[in-house]
Amino acid sequence: MTHGIVSAAQPEAAEAAADILRDGGNVIDAAIGAALVQTAVDPQMCGIAGMGCMHVYLPSRGVHTTLDFHGRSPGAVRADMWQDIIVRESDDGWGFILQGRVNEIGYQSITTPRTLAAFETALNRWGTRSLATLIQPAIAYAENGFLVRPHVAEFWNRPPAAGRPGNIDIVTKYDPARKIYVKPDGQVHAVGDVLRNPDLARTYRHIAEHGAADFYSGSLANRIAEDMTAHGGLISLDDLANCGPDENPPLWGTYRGYRIATNNPPGGGIMLIQMLNILEHFDLAAIGHNTPEYIRIVSEAMKIATADKDAFVGDPRFFDVPVERLTSKAYAAEMAARIRRHEKTLVPRFNAGGAESKHTTHLCIVDADGNAVTMTHTLGQPSGVITDGLGFMYNGAMAVFDPRPGRAGSLAAGKARFSALSPTIVFRDDKPFLVLGAPGATYITMGNLQAMLNVIDFGMTAEQAVCAPRFAAVSDTIEVSNRILRAAERALVDQGYRVMRHAQSYTIAWVHAIRIVDGQMDGGADPATGGLVIAV
């Protein structure tokens, strides 16, 4: 009998979670242990100085909640501080390119590092193991090393695009990063190399001994703040001291009789609910999976949600997000009627040019009692900054704030940026049916949406749903993976759509999912990341 199942973007993380479950730990223990391993073996996708969202469902304890730990802008931020150095907005809506890249690489790109605080909070509330115990596998990978996987090396060596330098700067620009990621011959580690990070191991041992509080108000906090001050960073001791996560009830929606629980703004769950509401007006199964008409309809729903997100969705503590209107069935009916009339939605972008890379990871865990965790965590855009001797890289999540004052995503001190992070649980008959989430920047919601449609409308297993070819429309361009039929692409072009084909067969978010049917669980891990599903 299967007692639990794990899906994670890295084999090392999936194994860590499975070992914890076998040893009697609960889903919270397994999730945090696995997430800490992710920070060691995928250190540009996530880290303790990052951000994210954790969706927790523990029915035996009456718990269904989300821990939101989006990075917030430091207290030194001003709304207008970058408005005169804008180059353009990314075509996919994932951030702005500024002169000198000050918002995405370097000390001014760092938002408050809230990941470690969220991990400890989750353990204190619902776990059975200590942070000191669960961090040990991550220490081992940092000390002894991990094999560089193709997904890791591909990120480092991704070539320049749209005038933006390649990602190699993230691990080579600053000496503390070069010390870890560049070999004596001057080359970054290659696929199959063993990468060791003894500085990270020492930092994690210090955290194991002194607790996460030391990172935010103790000796580690002092080292971080001193480094920021010395290099013109914006993060202060006060910023670090206010890094606890926010607990919020899920945002709810429905789709074809299923109940959808996801996260609130500034997360991307609002987009999922909106798109599902629109698509409920179409018989997608009859239209056919990934046919030209299917791609057109779903893409238009994606574009509507994207345009509304850009205009109306931000940190609700700073901006009045019209959640009720955007997630209403009446509004969805109006939008569906537009799609039926073959109206094309435009997605405005400021001086756009080129899609950007994605830097995030995910895990899902479900046990036999129906307890579930789905968590997406990230560095946003890795800043390239490592405080010498500490070993971990800081997030560069300031990149996604809008440098133009007066907008939903504009800069403000203490404000969280929008993120498409949308860890979601689908319920059937008041029991979890599908637990899923994805990395992938602005494509996260689009990948999650298609996996949900694949399972609900087309009856796919979790693995089939995750592996099916995907597309996305986060701008006026429909992007397709290389397994979308060229005949479908030609039909869309004939209808006046601009279509961009990716060379990769598995791309457009990296979805991970677990499906539960009559008490039996099956899982899927996106092949693009080298992920793994393990039943326990």
Cβ(173)–Cβ(104) below 8 Å: no
Provide the β-strand partners of residue 432: 427
CA nearest neighbour of 115 among 148, 72, 156, 155 = 72
Cβ(412)–Cβ(318) below 8 Å: yes
Helices (H), 127-253: 131-134, 136-144, 150-156, 168-172, 175-181, 198-210, 213-217, 219-230, 237-241
Separation between Cα atoms, residue 20 and residue 26, nearest integer Å: 8
DSSP helix/strand/coil, 445: helix
CA nearest neighbour of 529 among 515, 513, 509 = 509
Separation between Cα atoms, residue 213 and residue 120, nearest integer Å: 9
List of residues 6+ apart from 82 with CB closer than 8 A: 98, 102, 103, 403, 411
Helix (H) or strand (E) holding 65: strand 63-69
How distant, in Å, are the alpha carbons of 426, 495, 514 from that of 372?
Answer: 11, 43, 10
How distant, in Å, are the alpha carbons of 46, 47, 258, 262 from that of 41?
Answer: 9, 10, 36, 28
Catalytic residues: 360
Cβ(148)–Cβ(342) below 8 Å: no
CA angle (243 as vertex; 178, 232 as ends), nearest 5: 45
Cβ(242)–Cβ(111) below 8 Å: no
List of residues 6+ apart from 471 with CB closer than 8 A: 290, 295, 298, 299, 446, 450, 478, 479, 480, 481, 484, 508
Tally of CA atoms within 13 A in the half-sphere of 53 that contains its CB: 30
How distant, in Å, are the alpha carbons of 14, 68, 182, 222 from that of 397?
Answer: 26, 15, 24, 22
Tally of CA atoms within 13 A in the half-sphere of 40 that contains its CB: 34
Cβ(167)–Cβ(159) below 8 Å: no
Would you state the structure tokens that stand for residue 332, as one six-digit string? 């969805």
Would you state the structure tokens that stand for residue 245, as one six-digit string? 């996560």
Separation between Cα atoms, residue 173 and residue 160, nearest integer Å: 15
